[in-house]
Amino acid sequence: MNYSVIFDMDGTLFQTDTILELSLEETFDYLRGVNQWEGETPLQQYREIMGVPLPVVWNTLMPDHSDSIRREANAYLQEKLIANIRSGKGQLYPGVHELLTDLKRKGRSLYIASNGEVEYLQAIVEHYQLDTWVTRTFSIRHVETQSKTDLVAHILQAYDIRDAAVVGDRLSDIQAAKKNGLLSISCRFDFAQEEELREADYVVNDLLEVRDYIDEAASLDKRGAVR
């Protein structure tokens, strides 16, 4: 069976925390400098909503600002995130390379589906050479609805995938798996929330645990029998 695995990026493969605070501080320093923000940087608020599409992020963080200012803030943040990735300030989670190597060796097709911007994702893929293992990285920008569920459905259709698991850390990843009839594996990492994790088929504390669940699922003749 050619079993596929669709990974989330932030909080699943990439330790976004390693550059998030720095990049957010730089962005809100800029906003304070152009008189568009007062007070502290809303870092904790961002952490709580991590994993939602970027328009939702900025509507939440800056509800009283215009769309043009939100777009300006997002563009500045993306520049800083990419710069910090390329300068080596970011980091993958432990076990990423070992897991991807093991899955690829066993014939799994690997994809990334993320709510992140195209350029941001490409910076991570290039810096850590993830395309050594990953067939293609998809941004939420690839679907008009800005829905992770629809993005996963798009991947399934584009590559005629019938048997797969979604590995992520937030409710949007779990829902994307379940609504597409796939196995859901959630990572109890930095941005994960316990009430959301309860919705997943499996929860891991270490990425290398993922391979056991994938091996089990791939060994079955009929998708869904593991649930």
- Res 49: pLDDT: 86
Into how many domains does the chain fold?
2
Q: What is the pLDDT of residues 59-97, one digit of tens each?
A: 999 999 999 999 999 999 999 999 999 999 999 999 999
pTM of the predicted model as reported, rounded to 2 decimal places: 0.91
Is 28 a member of any domain? yes
- Res 24: pLDDT: 94
In this structure, is the dihedral angle defined by the CA atoms of residues 74, 78, 84 and 87, taken in order, positive or negative?
negative
- In terms of domains, do 78 and 108 share one? no
- In terms of domains, do 78 and 147 share one? no
pLDDT of residue 135 exceeding 60? yes
- In terms of domains, do 8 and 22 share one? no
CB 13 within 8 A of CB 98: no
Strand partners, 5: 110, 165
CATH number at residue 169: 3.40.50.1000
Is 141 a member of any domain? yes
In this prediction, residue 50 has a pLDDT band, given cuts at 50, 70 and 90, of confident
Range of the domain at 56: 17-86
Burial class, 217, CB count within 10 angstroms (exposed 0-12 / middle 13-18 / buried 19+): buried
